[in-house]
Amino acid sequence: MGLKKYFKNLFFNRRLKKSGLSFPIRCKINGVASVDRQGALAQSKENDELQIVHTPLKKYPHNAYVYSITLNRVLGYIDKELAQKLLYVFGEGFCLDGEIRALLGGKPEFDYTGCSIHIYDSKEMLKDLDDFSHLRS
């Protein structure tokens, strides 16, 4: 292992420990009540692959969307506190693997579906795809 890689891993592990995170991270996604996102969740299944992508917005610099690889759509976003911790550990523009663990019924008065996910400390799920042309068709 090269010296540069050694120090990179050392600093990563230190930030991970300081953040209090341990993988896989289990959480629910937010922002699922819109019609578009409910439609995407209705088409989703347990174990569908996800990407959790840091996409800063003017009012929400810690914003991290939960993106369905299967559907090529945004399902929602993770909460601010978790996004801040992931940003601290992985830096701006992070993109992490995840998967849907369970589709959940929402509160009866709102009548919407929610989603429980796992987030992994990798971006290996898309690694074996060399050709992304299928995403454009």
Spell out the domains of the chain, with CATH numbers in brackets.
21-123 (3.30.70.2330)
pLDDT tens digit sequence for 2-54: 788 888 888 888 888 999 998 899 999 999 989 999 999 989 999 999 999 99
pTM above 0.75, yes or no: yes
- 137 pLDDT band (50/70/90 cuts)? very low
pLDDT tens digit sequence for 96-114: 999 999 998 766 555 678 8
Question: Tell me, what's the pLDDT at 16?
Answer: 85
Q: What does the block give as tokens for 3?
A: 């010296």
Percent of the chain past pLDDT 90, that is, above it, reads: 58
Residue 34 is classified by DSSP as S
Q: Which helix (H) or strand (E) holds 37?
A: helix 35-43
pLDDT tens digit sequence for 10-19: 888 888 899 9
Question: Tell me, what's the pLDDT at 134?
Answer: 47
pLDDT tens digit sequence for 75-96: 999 999 999 999 999 889 999 9
Question: Tell me, what's the pLDDT at 136?
Answer: 45
Is 28 in a helix, a strand, or coil?
strand
Q: Which helix (H) or strand (E) holds 101?
A: strand 95-105
Query: C-alpha distances in angstroms, 5 versus 2, 11, 23, 59, 90?
Result: 5, 10, 21, 35, 15
Do 51 and 69 touch, CB atoms closer than 8 A?
A: yes
Q: What is the mean pLDDT of the chain?
A: 85
